[in-house]
Structure 1
Amino acid sequence: MSTLDIAYHRQVEIAAPAEEVAGVLRDVAGWPRWNASVARIDRPASGALTVGETIRLKQHRLPANTWTVTRVDGSGFVWTATSPGVRTTGDHQVRPTGPGRSEATLTLRLDGPLARLTALFGGRLIRRYLDLEAEGLRREVERDTAR
């Protein structure tokens, strides 16, 4: 059986340095404060996000899922979660676009034999949640920068 790779992307311009934006993204324990799609984050570790770490994420209208961090660097992080027939990869990257400005790119990639079915029934919610994450991130960072 062949697999299908489907990706959703959301980019947002933010009036803050890339390092600040990436720091807010990597602080996943704080996501419920600014990301309206997130109901709860259970992160057993503290301190900096690390490769191999697992984090339990509960989003509204979805079952809780365990994400494993696969990459962390100064520009963001990547994590993956698996469910029957689908592997989901979330990529959170930030790049500078000018003095005190940056662009965050949020990507959710689905692959596996049930990726197409997941996209068919869940694509609208995925796009909505990426919008909520992007706009929440922008508001959170710009509010912090204004202080």
Structure 2
Amino acid sequence: MHFEVSVDIDATPETVWNLLKDVERWPDMTDSIDRVELLDAPIALSSRARVHQPKLPAATWTVTGFTENETFTWESRSPGVTTTAAHEITTRDGTTTVRLILDQTGPLAGLFSLLTGRLTRRYVTMEANGLKAKAEQ
């Protein structure tokens, strides 16, 4: 499964980045996340976080790519499925755009997508919209 959503945010890139990398506060921005425990602080390359979401098992995510003020990518593995999520910030003509990308691969990715794809897409969209609302406050 591949899903991505972009949202334009009327806030500085620094404001957006600070909200995005403060993963433990994500539950304040969206109902799609109950709790995030940052296991290795601060968030950076190789940091891990345990994310608890409604209707899904808790997952441990490991940061696999990190560029300060621009992007971070993290990965979660479960039997038969690897989920990769990227969080990218770009600016153009004074507009800050966030793109959230989620990919699932592995031998059970198709089945997992059938079972949770709709919910996953809804959650990623909720997260983008929640980030926008919080940043524009």
Normalising by structure 2, we get a TM-score of 0.94
Q: Distance in 2 between matches of 1:98 and 1:60?
A: 37
Counterpart pick for 2:91 among 80, 90, 96: 96
Secondary structure class of the residue paired with 2:117? helix
Could you report, residue by residue, the CA deviation over 1:6-33 in whole angstroms, capped at 9, with x for unpaired residues? Answer: 2100111100122221221111111111
2:86 matches 1:83: no
1:16 aligned to which of 11, 18, 21: 11
Amino acid aligned to 1:119: S
Other-structure match for 1:134: 128
- What is the aligned counterpart of 1:60 among 51, 54, 57? 54
Return the offset for 1:122.
1.0
Find runs of 4+ consecutive structure 1 residues off by over 6 angstroms.
none
Size of the aligned set, in residue pairs, is: 136
**Structure 1 spans left out of the alignment, 5+ residues:** 1-5
Q: Tell me how far apart the structure 1 counterparts of residues 70 and 26 of structure 2 sit (CA, whole Å).
A: 17
Cα-to-partner distance string for 1:86-137 (whole Å, 9 max, x where unaligned): 00001000101222x2110001100000111111111110110011101100
Secondary structure at the residue paired with 1:135?
helix
The DSSP-based 3-state class of the residue aligned with 1:38 is coil
* Distance in 1 (alpha carbons) for counterparts of 2:2 and 2:27: 24
Percent of aligned positions that are identical? 37
3-state DSSP of counterpart to 2:104: strand
CA RMSD of aligned residues (A): 1.1
CA-CA distance at 1:76 after TM superposition:
2.1
Amino acid at match of 1:66: T
> Offset at 1:44?
3.1
Q: Deviations over 1:54-78 (max 9, x none)?
A: 1100001111000001111121210
Any stretches of 5+ residues in structure 2 without a counterpart? none
